[in-house]
Chains A and B, each alone.
Chain A
């Protein structure tokens, strides 16, 4: 045998080479233009294809929707499944390289951060604007510019177990009373978790007149905090009181709240449309109601807008426009998205056709809602907000002091 042959080392390299044998991998490359395909009847070929990022829940819906688009326009669409929790971060870091996706499906509250990073492109939907609800449009609009096309609106509402109660409470106390009559473990249950859940609690907070940021006369959020002050502290007091009565409990996570409601242990809960299918599968008889006010004013839950947003550096600008304006902004596509995802449609014309009482209930509850702030400052708020709610509910901190410290901390965090 010949000496000096380090077969081990070389075989390791051979792995790399085996790799290169399978050159078909390269052909599947999503970034490359697809082979020409026939398009819209004129017999000419369309080069190019679209890549869309969507999270686990929506990727199959978007893939289904895209099939119709491909049939109609002859443009291939690749749907890439991304993890919900960090797809926006990846979008922000990948778009500047020019290799990100063409479109991303997101809830609108992350729009502000995409805009200030310059990674989201603009869309002109002036012609279709009248077809969309105002709330949906405002979701894809940021500082007067439109950046996407909405397809659904999502918000939480009060869900009632009809076997346990028939009440349609207008106030929180009415609801608790009605729930107590049902004589179950939880008259009312809402998820909190050890980090708090200001999103689910927001309806109650706004009923005390303490929205998170001030809205200007056009309805856009400014960076002026309004969750503090007397009204905010009144909410904190109420939280402390209800925490003391064990109405709220950080040990109740989303799963526990859902399960308790499913098991018929709770008469009322605050939750979103994402849990409705589970309630139905369990053959529950439920009604979706607006959130009852805990304070003197109306309860306004956060309304999130789901939309498709283009990349600022897409190489397929025309196809993107075709997809967004000529396809997604049509009743047909919006109806399809509803059929696939069962969320309140962004087009009133589509919404009008819906007979599903639960979706209608969410739609009704969302009418009084306030859009989720999309400004990047919002992300400085969540942590302090949730944790303070937990501390107040558990009695770890005095409500008034806790609340005003929280406001100061958030203000400082925003300034940074």
Chain B
């Protein structure tokens, strides 16, 4: 907020001008927020209701009770959220490092098999993962005999599985961005005798912060919300991630505790929003663009 204000020192606009320049944007913003928020208001309302449903509880916020939130402590919920934060943070950091390294190689070097590798990366993610659980189980079983810490029911094993998907679209996202950093910059550095590692860390990585933040966030969110892979890998409730635990709550629709579920989901959204708040200034800062020009 404060930054937006300081960055926008502008002469007073007349109302008409203001609307033409900015006002309509607010209008769109409000409409989109309504579109975003209706289902979420519904979830929030359900989370505040003792015996909540996901269908038919149409009178929103009739009852405001924090019983569901209190009940979260009776479950392993807080434990799960810590697990999720641990797993997703490491996955996000790992993904950013691996994908940016790969994008650096693709954008700065011409090597044999370059295009083939890029194509391969793209095609691998086209594979429908629906049957993955059988193969994944066997793989982790085999790994467990050798590296127990990477095997079944290990959170680090799960991080490794997620890192297996780190390249994919993230590399492309970064690659597109890396290409916009002028080559003259690293060529100049190279002439000065900088090594490729120095160029990577000292020049490129600083200039591409927005995309690093975007990839980190995307990776964090996708591992935070994944339950398909996580539920194969993690077997005991003390290891579960939030998504697995909550998926189990919802699995038996006859007895699913929807109120608890809604409360859990509302709390689960908080880390993501905080992370976005934190990363936002990197994502939308104009500073990097200036850096490139300079």
Known: A1-B195, A2-B195, A20-B147. A59 touches B201 (CB 8 A): no
B:98-125 near A, CB below 8 Å? 98, 100-101, 104
- Segment among B35-43, B215-223, B251-259 that sits at the interface with chain A: B251-259
Q: Does any Cβ of A come within 8 Å of B156's Cβ?
A: yes
Among the interface residues B56, B133, B159, which one has the most CB atoms of the partner chain A within 10 A? B56
Contact among B57, B149, B205, B258 with A22 in the assembled complex (CB-CB below 8 Å):
B149
Q: Does any Cβ of B come within 8 Å of A245's Cβ?
A: no
Q: Does any Cβ of B come within 8 Å of A144's Cβ?
A: no
Known: A255-B54, A278-B51. A56 touches B163 (CB 8 A): no
Interface size class of A (residues with CB under 8 A): 35 or more
What's the least CB distance linking B94 to chain A, in Å?
5
For the complex, what is the distance from the CA of A396 to the CA of B168, rounded to whole Å? 46
Q: Which residue of A lies closest to B195 (CB)?
A: A3
Residues B101 and A6 in contact, CB atoms below 8 Å apart: yes
> CB-defined interface of B221-257 with A at 8 Å, one 1/0 digit per residue?
0000000000110011100100000011101111100
Residues A55 and B163 in contact, CB atoms below 8 Å apart: no
What's the least CB distance linking B207 to chain A, in Å?
15
For the complex, what is the distance from the CA of A30 to the CA of B253, rounded to whole Å? 29
Q: Does any Cβ of A come within 8 Å of B153's Cβ?
A: yes
Among the interface residues A56, A59, A85, A282, which one has the most CB atoms of the partner chain B within 10 A? A56
Q: Which residue of A lies closest to B51 (CB)?
A: A278
- Segment among A92-100, A133-141, A176-184 that sits at the interface with chain B: A92-100
Residues B138 and A97 in contact, CB atoms below 8 Å apart: yes
Contact among B98, B134, B153, B196 with A12 in the assembled complex (CB-CB below 8 Å):
B98
Contacts of B56 in A (CB 8 A): 255-256, 259
Residues A29 and B148 in contact, CB atoms below 8 Å apart: yes
Residues A254 and B254 in contact, CB atoms below 8 Å apart: yes
Q: Does any Cβ of B come within 8 Å of A262's Cβ?
A: yes
A:196-224 near B, CB below 8 Å? none
User: Using a Cβ–Cβ cut-off of 8 Å, how many residues does chain B contribute to the interface with A?
Assistant: 54
Q: Which residue of B lies closest to A81 (CB)?
A: B237
Known: A4-B196, A81-B236, A254-B254. A19 touches B53 (CB 8 A): no
B:19-63 near A, CB below 8 Å? 51, 53-57
Residues B197 and A7 in contact, CB atoms below 8 Å apart: yes
Contacts of A80 in B (CB 8 A): 235-237
Contacts of A2 in B (CB 8 A): 195
Residues A59 and B237 in contact, CB atoms below 8 Å apart: yes
Residues A56 and B196 in contact, CB atoms below 8 Å apart: no
Q: Does any Cβ of A come within 8 Å of B154's Cβ?
A: yes
Q: Does any Cβ of A come within 8 Å of B137's Cβ?
A: yes
Q: Does any Cβ of B come within 8 Å of A272's Cβ?
A: yes
Contact among B97, B104, B152, B254 with A274 in the assembled complex (CB-CB below 8 Å):
B254
Known: A1-B198, A256-B56, A259-B53. A55 touches B251 (CB 8 A): yes
Q: Does any Cβ of B come within 8 Å of A25's Cβ?
A: yes
Known: A3-B198, A19-B156, A93-B134. A56 touches B248 (CB 8 A): yes
The 4 A-B pairs with the shortest beta carbon distances in the complex, nearest first, are A3-B195, A19-B156, A26-B148, A83-B251
A and B contact pairs by CB, cutoff 8 A, 15 listed: A1-B197, A5-B197, A8-B100, A8-B200, A9-B98, A16-B156, A20-B149, A23-B148, A25-B148, A55-B251, A81-B240, A93-B137, A253-B55, A258-B53, A259-B56
